Structure 1
Amino acid sequence: MVLWGALVNGLAIVAGSLAGRLLKRIPEGMKNTVMNGIGLTLIVLGVQMGLKSDSFVIVLLSLVIGAVIGEWIRLEDRFTAAGLWLERRIGSGTPGAISQGFITASLVFAVGAMAILGSLDSGMKHNHDILYAKSIMDGFIAIVLTTTLGIGVLFSAVPVLLYQGLIALFATQITRLVSDELMNVIIADLTSAGGMMILGIGLNLLGVTKIKVANLLPGIIVVVALVAITEKWL
């Protein structure tokens, strides 16, 4: 089954989130310390991912153009509105908590080489080993994130499933249109752009900045377009 790896990954996030929900009664001081630890970890991860690209001009342009698109369509406001709607339905306590957990977890789980390579392997070879390994990691990360960011982490399973599932479904067509060399460049630049976003999330969690990270998300699509254009015309 082509979608099996993506489905397992989504279920692992749900399971981890539910397990983290059971651990929600953590002292506030401990919760703040854990949150700071997560923020520092995301900063280091973001820096490591951000250095994957060999063309920072493309990464920079992607983030700038993506930010313009995101601000124009008010993407973060839409995420926040959806989070508030869910909070009213399920009775979450802190306003904005669900949207913060959803956005943070979605970026952490969906951005990176494992998500892309694992989905391609699932679609082309029906080999789900990479996504299985990612599922184990994501499940444990979901536990930790849920204890601090709340149940919003659980809902990140939906975009992760859709994102990886679509890549898996169209894997054969993607590899026909894109050479291995070009795919490697795309993955590196996507990882780098995603790393910048994760770095922003880490800084937000530490209270250093208030970056509207969700408004940068269109940059992921812009990366692919810019890499394709530069490879074809330059």
Structure 2
Amino acid sequence: MLLGTIINAAAIAVASLIGVRIRNVPEEISKLIMQALSLALIVIGIQMAVTGENFLIIIISLTSGALLGSWLQIDERLNQLGQWLGTKIGKNSQGNVAQAFVSSTLIFATGAMAIIGPLEAALRGDHSLLFTKSSIDGFSALIISSTLGIGVFFAAIPVFLYQASITLLANQIDAFVPNMLMDMIIAEITCIGGILILAIGLNLLNVINVKIANLLPSLVIVVLLVVSFQRLL
């Protein structure tokens, strides 16, 4: 059941290691690549964000998630982790490890493919969607790591744990969650993920400076709200 998820995580890890090796590119070209990637992320984020069907839920999830994330100091703790990893792998990588880790994890772990892929693998034995996701994530990891560094490599760990959890819980999810409710959950999670990816693109362009990690609880809160609203209706 975990074949597709293992390949997905391996694609991210291997591609990021290759990307780090090709970092010696002229600064002007590296900057242009980063800007192009940022613009692509903005477009992807917008496309994902418009899939939301209930923007009241989205607003409540984002504001509640921001409050909870700020209280838990998720961004600060991840930055501390990034600094610690930076000291272990070399000073040259220290500055971007946290940013690369958080940004790439959000890019790889949010969206419909990260949910539907593991479900298809578990319930139907079909890994094709995860294989497709692996190729997309691998190419993205190659590009991102070539500019942001080794922090992208560590994103393979949460992506594997996240998708493996969905796969292993698939039978319970299928038994207790109706298809209509699952479609609603996927739509709203994809919308939240799109907003976060949009923020990543704007951050990388230095347009804004959002502590995106502090918004991560929104991805959990939105599921709880969708289920609650559905039961009330």
TM > 0.5 fold call: yes
Q: What SS is found at the alignment partner of 1:207?
A: coil
How far residue 122 of structure 1 moved from its aligned partner, in angstroms, is 1.3
Q: What SS is found at the alignment partner of 2:113?
A: helix
How far residue 40 of structure 1 moved from its aligned partner, in angstroms, is 0.8
Within 5 A, what are the aligned runs for 1:84-103? Answer: 84-93=83-92, 95-103=94-102
What's the CA shift string for 1:133-166, capped at 9, x where partnerless?
1001111111000011101001000000000000
Q: What SS is found at the alignment partner of 1:93?
A: helix
Aligned counterpart, 2:22: 23
Rounded to whole Å, the distance in 2 between the matches of 1:162 and 1:125 is 20
1:50 and 2:49 correspond: yes
- Taking only the aligned residue pairs, the percentage that are identical comes to 43
Q: What SS is found at the alignment partner of 2:92?
A: coil
Aligned counterpart, 1:10: 9
TM-score (norm 2): 0.98
How far residue 126 of structure 1 moved from its aligned partner, in angstroms, is 2.0
Aligned residues: 233
Within 5 A, what are the aligned runs for 1:38-187? Answer: 38-93=37-92, 95-187=94-186
Q: How large is the RMSD of aligned CA atoms in angstroms?
A: 0.8
TM-score (norm 1): 0.98
Residues 1:171 and 1:217: Cα distance change in structure 2 (over 3 Å): same
Q: Which amino acid aligns with 1:124?
A: L
How far residue 13 of structure 1 moved from its aligned partner, in angstroms, is 0.2
Structure 1 stretches of at least 4 aligned residues deviating more than 3 Å after TM superposition: none
| Residues 51 and 190, structure 2, Cα contact 8 Å, conserved in 1 | yes
What's the CA shift string for 1:54-105, capped at 9, x where partnerless?
1111111111111111000000111101110000011141543100100110
Aligned counterpart, 1:232: 231
Rounded to whole Å, the distance in 2 between the matches of 1:52 and 1:77 is 30
Rounded to whole Å, the distance in 2 between the matches of 1:153 and 1:201 is 14
Rounded to whole Å, the distance in 2 between the matches of 1:205 and 1:41 is 11
Aligned counterpart, 2:211: 212
Rounded to whole Å, the distance in 1 between the matches of 2:120 and 2:94 is 40
| Residues 80 and 96, structure 1, Cα contact 8 Å, conserved in 2 | no
For structure 1, the 5+ residue unaligned runs are: none
How far residue 132 of structure 1 moved from its aligned partner, in angstroms, is 0.5
Q: Which amino acid aligns with 1:45?
A: I
Aligned counterpart, 1:37: 36
Q: Which amino acid aligns with 1:228?
A: V
Rounded to whole Å, the distance in 2 between the matches of 1:206 and 1:122 is 37
How far residue 196 of structure 1 moved from its aligned partner, in angstroms, is 0.4
Rounded to whole Å, the distance in 2 between the matches of 1:36 and 1:102 is 18
